[in-house]
C-alpha cells in the first residue's frame, strides 16, 4: 500500500479507485453493515476526513461501485450495437460478458447478494445493474420479442449470479464459478441460435 504522502501526489481518480478497492475487500470480508468508515480509512492509512473528501458515506461508496458496473453494461450495449445481427450474437455477447468478469466483479456480486436492502435503495435511485441490462436485452431480441424470449436472454447473462448462489457453502473457486457459468450460457443459448437473427 502506498504511503499517505505518495497518495497525496496522485490524481483524485486513482485515490478514489484505491478507496473503492479497499472498501469492496472489507465489505466482502466483514459485511457491509459491520464495516465502518473508520475501518476503511484505517485500512487505507488516511484520516476519516480525507476519506470524506471523496465519499460522503458508505452508501455512496457502494453506489460508485454499482455505477462502475453499470458503465460496463453500457459498454457491452455499445459493442452489441456495432455487431451484425447473426444467429449466435446472444451467445457471443453473453460469453463476452462472462469473460470480462474479474475477481472484483465477483466480489461486487457477492456484496449485492448479501446486502439486498442496500441494493434496493440504490435501485430506487436508478443505479441498479439489472435495470441497465434492459437495453442489452432489447438490442438482442428486438422490439417484437415475447416475454419468454426476453427471459431466455436474461438467463443467458445471469449465469454467473446463479453459479455464485449455487456455490455457496461449497469448495468452488472463482474459476469454478465462471466455468460453470460459461457452460450454462452455452447450453441456454444453443436453442436460441436458430431464431435470434430474425427478431
**CA 171/CA 176 separation, integer angstroms:** 9
CATH fold of 4-54 reads Arc Repressor Mutant, subunit A (1.10.10)
Res 115: pLDDT? 78
Taking 60 as the threshold, does the pLDDT of residue 5 lie above it? no
**130 burial level (CB within 10 Å; 0-12, 13-18, 19+):** middle
Res 133: pLDDT? 83
> Tens digit of pLDDT for each residue in 54-87?
999 988 998 888 888 888 999 999 999 999 989 8
Q: DSSP assignment of 83-123, as one string?
A: S---TTHHHHHHHHHHHT--HHHHHHHHHHHH-HHHHHHHH
Average pLDDT of the residues of the chain: 85
Rounded to two decimals, the pTM is 0.77
**Quick one: average pLDDT of 38-48?**
93
> Tens digit of pLDDT for each residue in 6-34?
455 667 788 899 999 999 999 988 888 89
pLDDT band at 193 (very low <50, low <70, confident <90, very high): low
Amino acid at each position: 500500500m502506498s504511503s499517505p504522502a505518495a497518495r497525496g501526489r496522485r490524481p483524485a481518480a486513482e485515490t478514489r479507485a484505491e478507496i473503492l478497492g479497499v472498501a469492496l475487500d472489507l465489505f466482502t470480508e466483514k459485511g457491509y453493515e459491520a464495516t465502518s468508515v473508520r475501518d476503511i480509512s484505517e485500512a487505507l492509512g488516511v484520516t476519516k476526513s480525507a476519506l470524506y473528501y471523496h465519499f460522503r458515506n458508505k452508501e455512496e461508496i457502494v453506489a460508485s461501485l454499482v455505477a462502475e458496473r453499470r458503465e460496463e453494461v453500457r459498454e457491452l450495449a455499445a459493442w452489441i450495437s456495432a455487431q451484425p445481427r447473426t444467429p449466435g450474437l446472444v451467445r457471443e455477447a453473453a460469453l463476452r460478458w462472462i469473460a470480462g468478469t474479474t475477481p472484483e466483479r465477483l466480489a461486487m456480486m457477492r456484496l449485492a447478494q448479501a446486502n439486498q436492502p442496500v441494493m434496493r435503495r440504490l435501485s430506487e435511485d436508478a443505479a441498479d445493474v439489472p435495470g441497465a441490462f434492459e437495453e442489452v436485452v432489447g438490442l438482442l431480441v428486438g422490439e417484437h420479442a415475447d416475454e419468454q424470449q426476453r427471459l431466455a436472454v436474461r438467463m443467458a447473462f445471469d449465469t454467473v449470479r446463479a453459479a455464485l448462489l449455487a456455490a455457496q457453502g461449497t469448495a468452488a473457486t472463482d474459476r469454478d464459478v465462471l466455468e460453470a457459468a460459461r457452460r450454462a450460457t452455452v447450453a441456454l443459448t444453443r436453442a436460441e441460435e436458430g431464431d435470434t437473427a430474425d427478431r
